[in-house]
A and B are shown apart, each in its own frame.
Chain A
Amino acid sequence: MSKPTINAPARPSPGLWALAWRRLRSDRLAIAGLLIVACFLVTLLLSAAGLVARNWDAEVGVNYAPPTFVGAQSAEERGVEGMNAPEAAVPDNPRDPLAEVLRKLRAERGAGAAVAPPLDYYGIADPLAPEIAAIRAGEGKAAPAVALERRATLPFGADKWGHDIILKTIKGSETSILVGLTSALLATVLGTLFGAVAGYYGKWADDVFNWFYSVFTSVPYLLLILAVAAVLQQKGVLTIVLILGLTGWTGVFRLVRAEYMKHKAREYVQAADAIGASDLRKMFVHILPNISHIPFVQMSILTVGFIKSEVILSFLGFGVPVGVTSWGSMLNEAQNELILGKWWQLTAATTAMAVLVTSFSLFTDALRDALDPKLK
């Protein structure tokens, strides 16, 4: 209400982002969210650089080693004896190629009937172990070094193969967050671009994009994903990003298009027209900064959604390839483990995801408030 005074010294006024940051900073919840997200990102970077969780696929624990506070379990309790079938049954199977090899090896060194190798403490039986030991002894070599000591319990437990869950979760964040961020970026850029063109030019350009919009939104989401996946015909992180990006732009498009339709009639755009600004200049230099809060906030919301979508894709079998881990593939494995009562992998993946998604949402919420000029 008071007339602004502009007699202050010639210090540049805070811009949009400076003001938004000022408002954001006073929101403690948002800052907490931002810090947690930052922690995740730092861990991700360290892991990608190989400083953390490089040996995530080392089998450091016994199969399904429970978390430390649960306490060690015997092989029987862990339900893993069945995983390595008793050796005695193997030679009886005439079609077993391994049995043939064993028979030959034994005949060479003149050994008698097959001796079932004893199960070790961890419930693992290697049928070739006695033969290999004999061969190495024949060549004058010592018995092989004892395999890595496998621990009975791990702080957060182990999966089926004995991978440390915490390292696996860290490694998995790499894929999950990367997929979430890049596909959200792709979807936002596409949606903003389409929305800008459709909203600004209107007429047939609008019709064309609206037709695409209707098609994309009328096909059920999962079918659409299957269709894109079938077209791409390749598994991998890039494919997932493309699938999510190519199907996720519709929401951003709708909002951005509406804003452009509103803003193109505003006087400041007419004024830009009057001074001779080109269409591109009006669209992206004049209007875009005025509506930037919309794609920006949409992108954060999409990121959260896409991290979750990666799980669905893994479930459908379009997830990351074998040998790469992600929170989605962890959840996928957890489906089978849960029946056996192995809840730790599920817990780790969902906790990591829930913490990230919640803090990201808190931050996004506050960001929208800080950026929206109407809520000022």
Chain B
Amino acid sequence: MDPNTLLSVRDLSVSFRLDRRAKEPGFAAVKGISFDIPENTTVALVGESGSGKSVTSLSILGLLPAENATVQAGSQIIYGGRNLLELSNDELRRLRGRDISMIFQEPMSSLNPVFTVGHQIAEVLRLHMGMGQRQAQARVLELLAEVGIPDPLAKSRAHPFQLSGGQQQRVMIAMAIACNPRLLIADEPTTALDVTIQKQILELLAALQDKHRMSVLFITHDLAVVGEIADRVVVMRSGEIREQGTTEEVFQRPQDAYTRALLQCRPPLAHRPRRLAVIDDFMKPGGAPPATEDRPRGLNGGEPIILEVKQLGKSFFSRQGLFGRSEFKAVEGVSFKLARGKTLGVVGESGSGKTTVGLTLMRLHEATAGQALFEGRDILSMSRGEFKPYKRRIQIVFQNPYASLNPRFTVGQILTEPLLIHGLGGGDAGRGRLVRELLARVELPEASYHRYPHEFSGGQRQRIAIARCLTMKPDILICDESVSALDVSVQAQVLNLLQDLQDEFDLSYIFISHDLAVVKYMSDQVMVMNEGQVVEFANSDDIYLRPQHPYTRRLLAAVPSADHRIRAQPG
């Protein structure tokens, strides 16, 4: 073995029993993979959901669920001359946190809510380093300062909920590096964070790695992030390694069709192809997809306006004391015009009020100020009865396709329900025919009609949600982070579908997302929001080529891209 190798995975196979009673291991999550993590290197493990990347990292730490996971004979994970898979629980526990530590995706759920942050970091130090109370306290403050938390003394006495998401993740990192580990496993550490925070955390990880000369195993689904931080890349799919090599090799000269597909699936910032490439284009024997021309986007001012929003405001009130109430302005003074058949992109970080705009226009929240003129009538001030016929003409696709479909309804019932409520589609036979046509339109098999949502994958469920909106033949479709929960390859398919539907039905979209690349790709106009207010509103290309507002520039700079590296190449 190369003396520079810190940890080496050899022929790792892990399978899961799906049925408790079954004797044979059922589902092979990881199928005989091998890769090395050299010293002082960041290795990125990239793959979509179900690729086996998290299972791999859990096997390294010995954290696989014992009741249904089986590591196949012949698998090896060699660290310091020992096979980690053969160590006893006690030996593993001594290794965890000390030599190998881990940070997780959701900092809020990884921290114990009832203890102060300082207490939780000190616990690691006392357990693994045998430090006393005072010594641990001093080290906690050092660590908090090192991970860039302002006023460490005050923050060490804070409870997790008193910190922002970014700060929580910094605390997790402080805990992970407390014992100077040789290897840090970061499982999607930035996926739950805003882009600007993501950038800061990535920079912090890169700086810490250089300083402590440790190795990082960075697990992510996002190839763009990988390009910024990793030295080596391992691409996984369905439990197998498709490609591995240095970051430069993989990004510049990808050998595997799947890697090429992943690189192409994400909407590019520089131009706007008419259709996004999808995995199938690459996996077919034909090879790469035909180059397609760009789609023109943007408004020139002469388009017919379908919805005009004036000074929209939404405040939430919370009771304070006996009579007082405090006001929180989630959205304030938002005005825009939406043209027929065009897309308005709304972009902003969490708490910017972008989702509230969408929900208020649907009257899922009642607005507290402003007007929304739809065909000349203000839909916000109508009674609920008057609004009902308008309701079907403005529809919404929610973020989480796992939550937005009623699990007790079949797909047929889900799609028929809007027709029943609004008395559309003629009799039962007519409705059934219409629903089957729509299923075909969103490329789902006809057999889906009698199935339940849990039998479908995330992308398929989002198609069902889109089909549900289409049953009512809406004029405006609000997409609230509709592709954010999907894998990049699936995201590309759904974006293509949305574009096709816009062309076919002349739909107007309000496309809400935190992902600038996706918003830029989909939109004619883009509205940038921050803290409830519009900071910039312009044609899509102008926003990207000539951003005016400093906040917009900051957002743009934070978009991860492989061209921009945080970490210098080693050596």
Contact = CB atoms under 8 A, between A and B. Distances in A.
A276 B387 CA distance: 10
B491 interface: no
Interface residues of B, number: 43
Contacts of B395: 274-275
4 A-B pairs closest in CB distance: A12-B450, A267-B404, A267-B403, A275-B418
A70 interface: no
A276 B465 CA distance: 15
Given A10-B446, A13-B451, A276-B422, A271 B468 contact: yes
Given A13-B451, A268-B403, A4 B457 contact: yes
Contact of B417 (A1, A7, A275): A275
Interface in A240-271: 266-268, 270-271
Given A274-B395, A275-B421, A10 B364 contact: no
B449 A271 contact: no
A6 B454 CA distance: 11
Given A8-B447, A267-B400, A270-B364, A13 B468 contact: no
B27 A12 contact: no
A268 B468 contact: no
Given A1-B50, A13-B450, A267-B400, A272 B406 contact: yes
Contact of B410 (A13, A272, A286): A13
B408 A281 contact: no
A290 B388 contact: no
A102 to B, nearest CB: 77
Contacts of B5: none
Interface in A264-318: 266-268, 270-278, 281, 286, 289-290
Interface string B436-455: 00000000111111111011
Interface in A15-34: 15-16
B251 interface: no
B455 A271 contact: no
A217 B125 CA distance: 49
Contacts of B418: 275-276
A9 interface: yes
A2 interface: yes
B421 A277 contact: yes
Interface of A: 1-4, 6-13, 15-16, 266-268, 270-278, 281, 286, 289-290, 373
B451 A6 contact: yes
A278 to B, nearest CB: 8
Contacts of B362: 274
Given A6-B451, A274-B391, 5 more contacts: A1-B29, A13-B455, A270-B398, A277-B417, A278-B421
A281 B421 contact: yes
B16 interface: yes
B328 interface: no
Contacts of B422: 275-276
Nearest to A289: B408
B431 to A, nearest CB: 14
Contacts of B448: 6
Given A1-B50, A268-B403, A275 B455 contact: no
A275 B472 contact: yes
Contacts of A16: 408
A202 to B, nearest CB: 14
Contact of A7 (B392, B396, B445, B456): B445
Contacts of A13: 410, 450-452, 455
B315 to A, nearest CB: 18
Contact of B408 (A276, A277, A290): A290
Contacts of B455: 4, 6, 13
17 contacts: A2-B50, A3-B457, A6-B451, A6-B456, A13-B410, A13-B450, A268-B403, A268-B405, A270-B359, A271-B406, A271-B465, A272-B406, A273-B364, A275-B392, A275-B422, A276-B418, A290-B407
Nearest to A286: B406
Nearest to A12: B450
Nearest to B459: A3
Contacts of B454: 4
Nearest to A274: B396
Contacts of A8: 447
Interface in B369-403: 388, 391-392, 395-396, 398-400, 403
A54 to B, nearest CB: 45
B450 A290 contact: no
Contacts of B451: 6, 12-13
Interface string B329-369: 00000000000000000000000000000010010100000
Contacts of A273: 364
A205 B29 CA distance: 50
Contacts of A290: 406-408
A1 B27 contact: yes
B456 A10 contact: no
Contacts of B456: 4, 6
Name the residue in A8, A13, A275, A289 with the highest tally of chain B Cβ atoms < 10 Å from its Cβ.
A275
B27 A268 contact: no
A9 B50 CA distance: 25
A167 B67 CA distance: 52
A276 B445 contact: no
B450 A10 contact: yes
B167 to A, nearest CB: 27
Contacts of A12: 410, 450-451
